[in-house]
Amino acid sequence: MSDAAFDAPVWHNGKPLRKGYTTGSCATAAAKVAALMVLRQHVIHQVSIVTPSGVTLNLNVELPQIEGQQAVAAIRKDGGDDVDATHGMLIFARVTLNDSGEIVLRGGEGVGTVTRKGVGLPPGSAAINRTPRQTIEAAVREAIGPARGADVEIFAPEGEARAQKTYNARLGILGGISILGTTGIVTPMSEESWKRSLSLELEIKRAAGLTRVVLVPGNHGERFVREQLGIDSDVVVTMSNFVGYMLDEAVRLGFQHIVLIGHPGKLIKIAAGIFHTHSHIADARMETLVAHLALLGAPLELLTQVSDCDTTEAAMEHIDAFGYQRIYNHLAERICLRVQQKLRFTKTPPVCDAIMFAFDNQVLGSNRPVEAIVEALQC
């Protein structure tokens, strides 16, 4: 149970979607109830917290235990209808009272350890983000009063296994999950949290000293870069559909060379000035192909066949049959032009390159020789 603001669904594509709450809210509630159980010396089965966004959550407590000046309690993560790798897992807190007057927070089993700069936490610390740290400490302080101290350990027995389904290893967070959340509430279909996680990877690359980055739509692009181009995957960052956002973030962070690499199904949209490539935003793949084939003098028969295609793969067969493979170099140049136009107000715009490949991992086209792009990346 919770308040009306939390219970109101989020509507997406005409469907009501249920909100959830973050691992940070779970850890905060578990720590608060464990502290209260130590003080009162009796088991508590429900606890309420106010999230950073002002929503009150009333949460069920699982596996509560008291042993003298120590208590343990767990809250089950509920992502609502935005199910992620941590949905349904138990987040535990162990609180041990002492006379130090200080609250010391640490991560235990299943909570990841930060190993690189760039995620906003010092290397060697537990992957408990700033907002959850504050809410956990505040909740425990409220429970135990101003004079007492407490050791607070957040742990998640399933954390190490669940973390394998997250971006944590790529972010240099090893051994478990992160305790996250800025509002305390999970909003279904939240692009902002997804975008932020991708941007965080850019920040880590930049903090490691990189000035050149390869942006790919997904795993296929990353594999192509590694296996076909021989480029170290350390310079590769996934942009998903958020091309414009990731370009802006790369500029903000001071990257000097950006290479866009992917299948035409995604990259063709950029040639039309579409910088969010999800099909629900825009789909002008065939129109873009037809327009640029026409600019190259392609016959009406080819234009008609491409226009009637549902997929770029199908269109590529017709393009091959008519011998118009040069369209891909042309489109790669157009993509770079569009990126330059987008970044035209940047004081020192980065160098931009683009490479397109087919599903069989063959290079289709690029704005300049692939060898020159690879060489520049390895400088």
Written as one string, the DSSP assignment of 176-208 is SB-B--SSSEEPTT-HHHHHHHHHHHHHHHHHT
**pLDDT at residue 1, as a whole number:** 41
Whether the Cβ atoms of residue 318 and residue 306 lie closer than 8 Å to each other: yes
* Residue located via tokens 């414009």: 244
Q: Which pair of structure tokens corresponds to residue 200?
A: 């965080």
* Domain definitions of the chain by residue range: 4-186, 191-377
CA distance 235 to 344: 24
CATH number for the segment(s) 4-186: 3.30.2110.10
Residue 276: other Cβ atoms inside 10 A? 15
**pLDDT at residue 188, as a whole number:** 58
**pLDDT at residue 260, as a whole number:** 98
Backbone angles phi, psi at 355, to 5 degrees: -130, 135
CA dihedral for 97, 108, 29, 191, sign (positive or negative): positive
**pLDDT at residue 2, as a whole number:** 47
Return per-residue pLDDT of the chain as tens, 379 residues.
Answer: 446 455 655 555 566 767 888 899 999 999 999 999 999 999 999 999 999 888 899 999 999 999 999 999 999 999 877 767 899 999 999 999 999 999 999 999 999 999 988 777 899 999 999 899 999 999 999 999 999 999 999 999 999 999 998 878 878 899 999 998 777 777 655 677 778 878 988 999 999 999 999 999 987 888 899 889 988 888 999 998 999 999 999 999 999 999 999 999 999 999 999 999 987 788 899 999 999 999 999 999 999 999 998 888 889 999 999 999 999 999 999 999 999 999 999 988 999 999 999 978 899 999 999 999 999 998 7
CA distance 267 to 175: 35
Q: How many CA atoms lie within 13 A of 360 on its CB side?
A: 5
**pLDDT at residue 197, as a whole number:** 78
45 conformational bin, left if phi > 0, alpha if psi -120 to 50, beta if neither: alpha
Which class does domain 191-377 fall in?
Answer: alpha beta
In sequence order, the 6+-apart residues with CB closer than 8 A to the CB of 76 are 26, 60, 62, 88, 89, 90, 91
Query: What is the helix (H) or strand (E) element at residue 38, kind and residue range?
Result: helix 23-40
In residues, how long is the chain?
379
Give the full edge-to-edge strand order of the sheet including 212-216: 236-238, 212-216, 257-262, 351-357, 363-366
Residue among 151, 114, 119 nearest 136 (CA): 151
User: Residue 49 corresponds to which amino acid?
Assistant: I
CA distance 265 to 357: 10
What is the DSSP secondary structure assignment for residue 274, as one 8-state letter?
-
**E-only strand ranges, the chain:** 10-12, 15-17, 20-21, 46-50, 56-60, 62-67, 70-76, 90-98, 103-107, 113-114, 149-155, 173-174, 185-186, 212-216, 236-238, 257-262, 351-357, 363-366
Q: What b-and-e string marks burial along 340-361, b requiring 16 or more CB atoms within 10 Å of the CB?
A: eebbeeeeeebebbbbbbbeee
* Residue located via tokens 């919770």: 2
Task: Specify the 3-state DSSP secondary structure of 5.
Answer: helix
pTM, two decimals, is 0.68
CA distance 303 to 312: 13
Task: Specify the 3-state DSSP secondary structure of 158.
Answer: coil
Dihedral through CA 204, CA 206, CA 209, CA 214, nearest 10? 100
CA distance 326 to 317: 14
* Residue located via tokens 């906003």: 120
**pLDDT at residue 97, as a whole number:** 97
